[in-house]
């Protein structure tokens, strides 16, 4: 960013301060809960450890760690996580992050392709932290990432603007059913901030078209979106991937709500579709509608409770307000959900 005039960066810096509504929720992750989270998942090098996946680290986890440490108002932890992310993952020429870092492998980066949702999370957290803590260097880096995302992963398809999951492997000429997208990669709350960092009408179109895709993606008896979808013709589950509403997809309702998208029909359909007969949020086989795996961790279960809060004013049960982190991913979702409710719907606590 050295060739970008400083006044432009300062202008973006000022604009980022003004987007509290776009950032949707600058809620608080409690000091206690953040301490529990980092004791479990943040090691001394600054990497967030995915302890359910061979203790690897990935750009998604680093992005979540940055966002949560910002929401906990902990600049020191944020800088530690950013230091690892910057030195170990930002090794590509385009300014995006390599998605996978394995402590058991040499070299540690075992796949240099990016994961677009991880890059969005990193840029989003850098922009929020930079604007709040007066760190121009954070905003400069967020600008670079956002511009690269816009150039390499935001694409037009038959009049729609969509998000490629990575720069390689999912676009035209790379698969017969291309493009292939992952609906859970739309981090709706971050897209207005991306538009400030890398000005383009494509960001607003990306948000609008992503929401439209969720409304029409109704596969199988439970009418759920697929984890991976082909848009070559009309949306359908992509070939070569499990035909499921899986671990990634369960966060879709949370992302919608954190962006203040309270679409009753959509949220109700998602909630009913991903809940098994016993009332437990689950992964779902799209073809049969059968439960593949119940997800009993409070970090998963809280999502349905937050939907109930948003749509009906139902209070969250004590079981999901307590935080006892065990696994990285549901623990992350739980803190994001609690932070949202504390800021936007404290009446549900």
- Return the closest-CA partner of residue 34 out of 349, 338, 304, 344: 338
Write down the pLDDT at residue 12.
55
Write down the pLDDT at residue 21.
40
Beta strands in the chain, from DSSP E residues, in sequence order: 57-58, 100-101, 109-111, 154-157, 160-163, 180-181, 229-230, 236-237, 244-245, 282-285, 291-294
- C-beta of residue 164 within 8 angstroms of C-beta of residue 153: yes
Cα–Cα distance, 133 to 137 (Å, whole number): 11
Give bridge partners of residue 281 from the DSSP assignment.
275
Task: Give the rounded distance of the alpha carbon of 262 from its chain centre.
Answer: 18
Which residue carries 């230091």 as its tokens?
83
Cβ count within 10 A of residue 133: 13
Write down the pLDDT at residue 3.
47
Residues recognised as catalytic: 60, 117
Write down the pLDDT at residue 323.
98
* Ramachandran angles phi, psi of 205, nearest 5°: -65, -40
Cα–Cα distance, 97 to 114 (Å, whole number): 6
Write down the pLDDT at residue 28.
85
Residue-wise burial string across 285-308, b where 16 or more C-beta atoms lie within 10 A, e elsewhere:
bbeeeebbebbebbbbbbbbbbbb
- C-beta of residue 291 within 8 angstroms of C-beta of residue 274: no
Write down the pLDDT at residue 23.
45
pLDDT in tens, the chain (349 residues): 444 544 455 555 555 555 444 444 454 899 999 999 999 999 999 999 999 999 999 999 999 999 999 999 999 999 999 999 999 999 999 999 999 999 999 999 999 999 999 999 999 999 999 999 999 999 999 999 999 999 999 999 999 999 999 999 999 999 999 999 999 999 999 999 999 999 999 999 999 999 999 999 999 999 999 999 999 999 999 999 999 999 999 999 999 999 999 999 999 999 999 999 999 999 999 999 999 999 999 999 999 999 999 999 999 999 999 999 999 999 999 999 999 999 999 999 9
Write down the pLDDT at residue 270.
98
DSSP string, 120-187: HHHHHHHHHHHHHHT-HHHHHHHHHHHHHHHHHTEEEETTEEEE-SSSSSSSTTT-TT--EE-GGG--
- DSSP-derived 3-state class of residue 203: helix
Cα–Cα distance, 283 to 304 (Å, whole number): 13
């Amino acid at each position: 960013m050295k060739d970008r005039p400083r006044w432009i960066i300062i202008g973006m810096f000022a604009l980022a301060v003004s987007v509290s509504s776009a950032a949707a929720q600058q809620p608080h992750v409690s000091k206690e809960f953040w301490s529990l989270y980092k004791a479990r998942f943040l090691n001394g090098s600054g990497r967030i450890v995915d302890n359910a996946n061979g203790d690897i680290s990935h750009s998604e986890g680093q992005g979540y760690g940055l966002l949560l440490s910002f929401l906990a108002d902990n600049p020191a932890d944020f800088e530690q996580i950013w230091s690892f992310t910057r030195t170990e993952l930002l090794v590509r020429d385009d300014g995006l992050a390599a998605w996978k870092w394995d402590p058991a492998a040499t070299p540690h980066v075992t796949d240099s392709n990016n994961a677009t949702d991880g890059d969005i999370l990193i840029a989003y957290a850098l922009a929020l932290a930079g604007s709040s803590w007066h760190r121009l260097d954070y905003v400069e880096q967020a600008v670079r990432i956002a511009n690269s995302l816009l150039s390499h992963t935001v694409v037009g398809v038959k009049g729609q603007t969509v998000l490629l999951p990575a720069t390689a492997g999912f676009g035209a000429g790379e698969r017969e059913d291309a493009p292939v997208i992952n609906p859970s990669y739309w981090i709706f709350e971050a897209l207005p901030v991306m538009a400030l960092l890398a000005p383009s009408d494509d960001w607003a179109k990306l948000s609008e078209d992503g929401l439209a895709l969720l409304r029409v993606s109704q596969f199988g008896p439970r009418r759920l979106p697929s984890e991976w979808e082909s848009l070559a013709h009309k949306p359908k589950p992509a070939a070569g991937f499990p035909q499921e509403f899986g671990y990634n997809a369960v966060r879709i309702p949370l992302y919608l709500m954190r962006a203040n998208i309270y679409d009753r029909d959509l949220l109700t359909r998602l909630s009913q579709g991903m809940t098994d007969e016993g009332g437990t949020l689950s992964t779902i086989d799209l073809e049969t509608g059968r439960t593949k795996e119940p997800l009993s961790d409070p970090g998963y279960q809280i999502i349905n409770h937050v939907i109930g809060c948003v749509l009906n004013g139902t209070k969250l049960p004590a079981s999901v307000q307590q935080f006892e982190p065990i696994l990285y991913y549901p623990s992350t979702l739980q803190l994001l959900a609690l932070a949202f409710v504390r800021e936007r719907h404290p009446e549900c606590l």
